[in-house]
Amino acid sequence: MSDDIKGIVKEKYAQAALRVTAAAGSSCCGTASSRGECDPITSGIYGDSDMSALPDEARAASLGCGNPTALAELKPGETVLDLGSGGGIDVLLSAGRVGPTGKAYGLDMTDEMLALARENQRKAGVGNVEFLKGEIEQIPLPSNTVDVIISNCVINLSADKDRVFAEAFRVLKPGGRLAVSDVVVRGEVPAAIRRSVELWIGCVAGALEERQYRDKLAAAGFEGIDLEPTRVYRVEDARDFLTGAGLDADTIAPQVADRFMSAFVRARKPA
């Protein structure tokens, strides 16, 4: 099951990387989305000052649902790790924030995304960056070596979220921070509706409910857990997709309203 999900996710993001490489900068919102040109999930999440510092292909490859580098309060000299770094946008932004005495790692399992990210690094001329091939369930870094873990809309794609949180905890230094953007479900939603909305958002493995998110982080050993909604999705945005899935958007609207969101999740490894 878990291997099937990984295969589907890899194929989806290999295609997304190839679309960016083939047609950089052609979408009106600057995203590599398959949901539509002006994507309600990925569009408009970065400020102009962030965007202007990046190569076109890094901007076009943005598939996140938040701006974790802006919220993570990165400091010069810190070591940052981005789980599921895609085209590298958050790694390149982090590298600027931690400066030449710091280091930004990106970790991704998809070869096409790694190739795109390394090309974006070359174009941006940034030295303090390294893109690693591997899985977020088995992070290829030693224990207690990272100051800050960021991630942008990736943990929802994992079929083994407990393992991801355990690995994040392991590689963080004591006192290290987790600062991730992810899709979160708030409250109960009937299973069929939940699955359809999640597929529209792109959560192949299913998003966590807010309480579950907090409980799993706590079970991995994290403290200071905080979850803050950054964008709440509207049923209106998903109307065509839901209708295509055989659901009546008007009827299910009350069960979807205010339940699906991107959130910024913070937690700390005890010092």
What residues make contact with ligand SAM under the rule CB under 6 A?
9, 13, 62-64, 84-87, 89-90, 108-110, 113, 135-137, 152-154, 157-158
Query: Least Å distance between CB 257 and ligand SAM?
Result: 24
Give whichever of 57 and 135 is closer to ligand SAM, judged by the CB atom. Answer: 135
Indicate the length of the chain as a whole number. Answer: 271
Dig out the tokens for 184 from the structure. 């979160």
Nearer to ligand SAM, 3 or 48 (CB): 3
**203 or 252, CB closer to ligand SAM?**
203
CB distance 268 to 177 below 8 Å: yes
Number of Cβ within 10 Å of residue 37's Cβ equals 12
Q: How far is the CB of 140 from ligand SAM (least distance, A)?
A: 10
- Whole-number Å distance between alpha carbons of 199 and 185: 13
CB of 117 to ligand SAM, least distance (A): 8
Q: For helices 111-124 and 2-22, what crossing angle results, to 10°?
A: 40
Taking the least distance from each CB to ligand SAM, the nearer of 204 and 249 is 204
We find the least distance from the C-beta atom of residue 137 to ligand SAM, in angstroms, to be 6
Helix or strand run (H / E) with residue 163:
helix 161-171
Least spacing, CB of residue 176 vs ligand SAM, in Å: 19
**Cα 173 from chain centre:** 22
Backbone angles phi, psi at 133, to 5 degrees: -90, 130
To the nearest 10 degrees (0 to 180), the angle between helices 191-201 and 249-256 is: 90
Comparing CB distances to ligand SAM, the nearer of 117 and 267 is 117
CA distance 237 to 246: 16
Give the shortest CB-179-to-ligand SAM separation in angstroms: 13
Phi, psi of 214 (to 5 degrees): -65, -45
Backbone angles phi and psi of 237, in degrees to 5? -65, -30
Judged by CB, which is closer to ligand SAM: 157, or 267? 157
Nearer to ligand SAM, 62 or 79 (CB): 62
Residue 227 Ramachandran class (φ > 0 left, ψ -120 to 50 alpha, else beta): beta
Q: What's the CA angle centered on 176, arms 174 and 179, to 5 degrees?
A: 155
CB of 204 to ligand SAM, least distance (A): 9
